[in-house]
Chain A
Amino acid sequence: MTAPRPAFETATMVRAGEELAIDVLEHHLAVIEEGEESVHAFNLVLADSARERARAVDARVAAGEDPGPLAGVPVALKDNLCTRGVPTTCSSRILDGWCPPYDATVVTRLADAGAVVIGKTNMDEFAMGSSTETSAFGTTRNPHDTTRVPGGSSGGSAAAVAAGFAPLALGSDTGGSIRQPAALCGVVGMKPTYGTVSRYGLVAFASSLDQIGPFAGTVADAALLFDAIGGHDPLDSTSLHRPTPRVLSVLDDGVDGMTVGVLAEFLDGADPDVVARVHQAAEALGAAGARIEEVSVPEVALGLSAYYLIAPGEASSNLARYDGVRYGLRVDAADTVAMNTATRTAGFGAEVKRRIMLGTYVLSAGYMDAYYNQALKVRTRIIEGFATAYARCDVLLGPTAPTTAFAIGAKVDDPLTMYLSDVCTIPSNLAGHPAISVPFGPGDDGLPVGVQLLGPALSEGTLFQVAAVVESAAPDLPAPRLTTGAPS
C-alpha cells in the first residue's frame, strides 16, 4: 500500500477545490473494505453519514465557503466519544443499544472544522487495558503484524491511522491509552495538558486523569488536529480558561538552545533495542542544537502504584451508573436490586470488574487513608519531582512503552505484566502534563518503537516543536502490511 497522504495536504486541496471530499472519503472506505477484516480497528464504520457529510463539505466549497482547517479529512473516533444518534459502546456489552442524544464537544469541533467522521474505533472495555484485548467485540490487531496487539486502550484508533483507514483519529489517554498504542502502531499520538481539551461527551474512566488527544501519521497532522479540538468549553468545569497553545505555527522553530533531559527512570525497565532508539533520538536532538542531559525524577517510579489506586477508585464511581435502570443492557430479575446485579454481572468484562472491585476497596472506610489518600500524596510528589526537572530542562525524553508490540494473548491473563506497559506514560497523567509519542524506527523485531517527549503543563508548543525535529531524524519504518509476521 502507498503511504497515506497527510491530512494537512488533503484539507488544503479540498479547501482549494482541487479535490472532492467525497473522493477522499471513498478512497479511505475502500482501504477499510480491503483491510478491516484483518485489523478490526472499527466497532462501526459510518459510511452513509460520512458520505452525507463529505458531500456537504463539497457543497460548501462549491458555494465559495471555507469548510475549515480539516475540510474533507476523514477522522476515526474512539468509541467512548459520544456521537448523537450513533451507538457509543466503550466496547462494552453494558452499553448495548445505547445511542447518545448528544455529541461530545470534540465531535462538534471536528464538524465545525470540516472533518468527516468515518467510524467508531475499537478499544479496551471502558479504556481499561493496554492491548485492546479487553474489548467485548474482539481484539484489534496491529497493522504491522496482525499476530500482535496494537496496544491500548485506544488500539482501534492507532491501528486505523497506521493502516491508512483514516489520516486522523481521536483517542483518550488516562494512563497512556493514546501514546502507548501510537508507539506500538508506529504513528504519532499525543496527550494534551489536563483541561486543554473538553471532556464533555467522553465517557469517563478516571475523570481526573482522562484527556482526549490526537492520533496522526505525522507530527504536523497531530498538531492540526490538536488545534481544532482544544480550547475552553463551558460544558466542562475542569476545562482551562487559559488560551490553548496553538501548535501548528511553531513546528519549524527547531530545538536550538533547548535543554532535553533523558529520563533515567524510564530507561530502567525498557528493552535494550527501545533504549537504543531513545539514545539515538537524543543524539539527533543534540545534533540539531539542543543540550542533552541525563535527568532523574525518582518519584515517577511510584507512578504505576499510585495510578492503580486512583484510576480504579474514580472508575468504581464513574461506572456505578451502568445499573440497567435508564439505558444500555438490562438483565431482568426478581426486583430492582437483583436486576442491578444481574445486569452488571452480564454486562462488564473481567478487567472492568477487577478495577471496580479494586476501586471500591481503596475508597472504603478504613482503607481510604492507606490507599487512595496515600496515592494522592504520591501524585503531588510526582508533580514536585517533574517541577525540579523542568527547572533545568525544557522537555524530557524517554521511551513511550518499554517494549514493541507484544503477541496477542501474551499478557492478557497476567494483569500486573500488562499494567507495566504503561509505566512510562502514567506519570504524565498523574501530573496533568502533556506528552507526545513519535515513531522512531523499528526495534530489533522490526516493529515500531515510539519515543516520548514530556513537558510541563501547557508546553504543547514546545513539545510539538521538539517532536518535529525527532520526526525528521527518525529511521524509516517498514510500511504496515496487514499480514501475519513482522517484516524481515
Chain B
Amino acid sequence: MTSGWQMVIGLEVHCELKTATKLFCGCPNMFGDEPNTNVCPNCLGLPGSLPVLNQQAVELAMAIGTALHCEIRPSTFHRKNYFYPDQAKDYQISQYDEPLNVDGWLDLPDGFRVGIERAHMEEDTGKTSHAGASGRIHGADYSLVDYNRSGVPLVEIVSAPDMRTAEQARAYVTELRAILVASGASDGKMEEGSMRVDANVSVRRSAEAPFGTRCEIKNLNSVRSLGRAIEYEAQRQIALIESGEAVVQQTRHWDEGAGRTEALRSKEDAYDYRYFLEPDLVPLVPDAEWIRAVGDTLGMMPAERRARLIGLLEQAGGATDAQRDQVATVVDLGLDDLVVEAVAGGIGSGLALARTANEAATDADAARALDPKSYLELLMLESSGSLSATQAKAVLAELFARGGGDPAAIARDKGYEAMSEDSLAATVAQAVADHPDEWGRYRDGDDKLAGFFTGLVMKATRGQANGRAVAAELARLRG
C-alpha cells in the first residue's frame, strides 16, 4: 500500500445454498446438467406461475445467520425489476429492506472482527452466453440462455466496510467460505460460481479521514483475483486522487488476464430497480422455536474447531507455527474430528495432527468417510512401534482404497510384521560392518550419519524397520 493511504474494503458475497430444490419451485438444484433441463413453469416465469418458498432454503439461510452471529428477524421479499434475458420474470425476488439476518460478525483467524451488515435471501438468475465479437448482449449475433440456475437459492452476505488490507479481504473470504461449508449451507465452490464475491473499495489519506468514493468490483473468481483486484483498484484510485482527479462511483469489471479493473457502468446509468413488496409471497416470520431448532443442528464453526485443536497441542506443550498451519488445513478439510478422537484414544497430539494434515489430507473425502476408530487403531500401531511411519502410510492408503477396514489385518496382509529386536539389531550390525569409515565418523560424533545408517536399514528391510528403534540401536552401539 502506498504510504499515507489506507484502503477501505467491504465485501458482498453471494452464496448458492446446497438445497435439494430451487428457492420457489420443486426443480432440482443441480450444477452442470444439460441446459434447460431443470426447469418448470415457475423458474421459466411462465404466465400464471407462482412462487412457493422452500423451507430448507430458509433453514440454511438461518444457519448462515446463526453462524455469523446475526439477529434473525421477521423479513419480507421484494421484486427487483430489470430487463435481462437471464431473468425469467424480468424481475428478481430478493429480500430488500427487511432481510432475514442482520447485525452479525465474523472473526478472522488472527482475531480481527469484521461486521456483517446483513445476510439476505434471493433467487439466482439463469446464465446467458452471447455469440459474436462483443461478447455482450449489445451487438451479439445471438444470445443463448440456460435457466437451470434460474431460481437457485442464494444468500447474499454483506460485510461492513471494516477491512483495511487486501490480505484481510482474502482472509475474510477464506474464513466465510469455511463457515458456509461447515454450516452445511453451501459447497463454497468459487470455481463453479456457487460462491461469488463483489468488492467495494475506496481509499483515504488516514484512518481518521472520512470514507472516499467507492467502486464496486465484479467478476472475482478466486481469492487470488480478489486480492489482486483490490490492490490494483486501490492504486488506481490513489493515482487519480494524487493527480488531482476525483474517483467516480462506478461498477468495475476485473479483467484477470490484463490484471486491471475496467468501468462497467457509473452511478448515473445505474438501473432504477423499482423495488416493491412481492405480492405473491407472504412475510417470512421465523418463530423463536424454529430459530433455536436450526441453531441446535448447527455444528461447531471453524474458529471454534481450530481452537479445539490448538488447545490439544497446548496441553502437550504448545503449538508451533507449522502446527498452526496444519490445524488450519485439517479444519478446512473437515478432518479435525479424526485428530480429536485419536488424541482421546491416547495418541500424541503432534503425531495425530501431522498424520492427518499430511497423509489423511491427501484424500480428504475418503478420510472424512473413515471410521475414526480405524484411524485411531492405525495411529496406535504406529505409535507403539508395531508399524513404521512408511508402513502406517501404506496401510492408511489401503484403508482409503477399501473405504475402511481393520488396520492390523491390512498390515498383516501386507506382510508388515513388526521386526523383532534381534533381527533389527542384526540388520543394523550388518550396515555398520559394511561401512566402517562412516561408522567411525559417526562414533566420533558426526550425528548426521545416523540418517545414513537409518536409510541403509530401511532399504534393507524395505521400510519395515521402525525409524526410532533403528536410532536407538545405533545410539546403543555407539555406547
Nearest chain B CB to A338 CB, angstrom units? 9
- Cα distance A200–B49 in the bound complex, in angstroms: 6
Does B140 contact A336, Cβ atoms closer than 8 Å?
Answer: yes
Contact of B139 among A98, A100, A335, A372 (CB under 8 A): A335
Nearest chain B CB to A406 CB, angstrom units? 30
Does B52 contact A235, Cβ atoms closer than 8 Å?
Answer: yes
Contact of B50 among A206, A237, A335 (CB under 8 A): A237
A300-317 CB mask vs B (1 if < 8 Å, else 0) is 000000000000011011
Contacts of B138 in A (CB 8 A): 335, 337
Nearest chain B CB to A207 CB, angstrom units? 4
Q: Does B227 contact A (CB under 8 A)?
A: no
- Cα distance A195–B47 in the bound complex, in angstroms: 19
Q: Does A323 contact B (CB under 8 A)?
A: yes
> What is the chain A residue whose CB lies nearest that of B274?
A363
> What is the chain A residue whose CB lies nearest that of B280?
A207
Nearest chain A CB to B43 CB, angstrom units? 11
Using known A-B contacts A235-B52, A237-B282, A313-B276, determine if residue A321 contacts B47 with beta carbons closer than 8 Å: yes
Does B46 contact A320, Cβ atoms closer than 8 Å?
Answer: no
Does B85 contact A325, Cβ atoms closer than 8 Å?
Answer: yes
- Residue pairs across A and B with CB atoms within 8 Å: the count is 106
Does B274 contact A364, Cβ atoms closer than 8 Å?
Answer: yes
Does B85 contact A320, Cβ atoms closer than 8 Å?
Answer: no
A168-184 CB mask vs B (1 if < 8 Å, else 0) is 00000000000000000
Within 8 A of A (CB), among B52-69: 52-53
A92-127 CB mask vs B (1 if < 8 Å, else 0) is 000100101110100000000000000000000000
Does B50 contact A200, Cβ atoms closer than 8 Å?
Answer: yes
Q: Does A162 contact B (CB under 8 A)?
A: no
Contacts of A242 in B (CB 8 A): none
Using known A-B contacts A313-B276, A335-B140, determine if residue A100 contacts B52 with beta carbons closer than 8 Å: no
Contacts of A3 in B (CB 8 A): none
- Cα distance A136–B240 in the bound complex, in angstroms: 57
Contact of A363 among B50, B51, B52, B81 (CB under 8 A): B81
Contacts of A320 in B (CB 8 A): 81, 83, 89-91
Does B279 contact A238, Cβ atoms closer than 8 Å?
Answer: yes
Contacts of A82 in B (CB 8 A): 47-48
Q: Does B110 contact A (CB under 8 A)?
A: no
- Cα distance A170–B192 in the bound complex, in angstroms: 47
Chain B count of residues within 8 A CB distance of the other chain: 33
Contacts of B282 in A (CB 8 A): 237-238
Does A323 contact B53, Cβ atoms closer than 8 Å?
Answer: no
Q: Does A415 contact B (CB under 8 A)?
A: no
Does A365 contact B279, Cβ atoms closer than 8 Å?
Answer: no
The dominant DSSP class at the A interface is: loop
B267-295 CB mask vs A (1 if < 8 Å, else 0) is 00000101110011110000000000000
Contacts of A201 in B (CB 8 A): 48-49
Q: Does B330 contact A (CB under 8 A)?
A: no
Q: Does A204 contact B (CB under 8 A)?
A: yes
Contacts of B272 in A (CB 8 A): 364-365
A318-340 CB mask vs B (1 if < 8 Å, else 0) is 00110101110000000111001
Q: Does A236 contact B (CB under 8 A)?
A: yes
Within 8 A of B (CB), among A344-402: 360, 363-365, 368, 372
Contacts of A363 in B (CB 8 A): 81, 274-276
Does B50 contact A326, Cβ atoms closer than 8 Å?
Answer: no
Nearest chain A CB to B468 CB, angstrom units? 67
Does B90 contact A321, Cβ atoms closer than 8 Å?
Answer: yes
Using known A-B contacts A364-B272, A364-B274, determine if residue A335 contacts B137 with beta carbons closer than 8 Å: yes
Contact of A204 among B47, B52, B83 (CB under 8 A): B47
Nearest chain A CB to B98 CB, angstrom units? 15
Does A314 contact B83, Cβ atoms closer than 8 Å?
Answer: no
Within 8 A of A (CB), among B333-359: none
Using known A-B contacts A321-B89, A372-B276, determine if residue A234 contacts B52 with beta carbons closer than 8 Å: yes
Q: Does A191 contact B (CB under 8 A)?
A: no
- Which of A82, A207, A326, A335 has most B Cβ within 10 Å? A335
Within 8 A of B (CB), among A200-244: 200-204, 206-208, 234-238
Using known A-B contacts A320-B90, A363-B274, determine if residue A88 contacts B47 with beta carbons closer than 8 Å: yes
Contact of B46 among A101, A236, A316 (CB under 8 A): A101
Q: Does A11 contact B (CB under 8 A)?
A: no
> What is the chain A residue whose CB lies nearest that of B282?
A237
B73-84 CB mask vs A (1 if < 8 Å, else 0) is 000000101010
Contacts A323-B90, A365-B272 aside, 5 further interface pairs with beta carbons under 8 A come to: A207-B279, A316-B81, A321-B89, A325-B85, A363-B81
- Residues of chain B touching chain A, judged by Cβ–Cβ distance below 8 Å, are 41, 44-53, 79, 81, 83, 85, 88-91, 137-140, 143, 145, 272, 274-276, 279-282
Question: Can you report 16 residue pairs joining A to B where beta carbons are below 8 Å apart?
Answer: A102-B46, A202-B48, A237-B281, A238-B279, A314-B279, A317-B81, A320-B81, A321-B47, A321-B88, A325-B145, A335-B137, A336-B140, A340-B83, A360-B274, A363-B274, A372-B276
Counting from the closest, the 7 A-B pairs by CB-CB distance are A320-B90, A208-B279, A207-B279, A363-B274, A203-B47, A82-B48, A201-B48
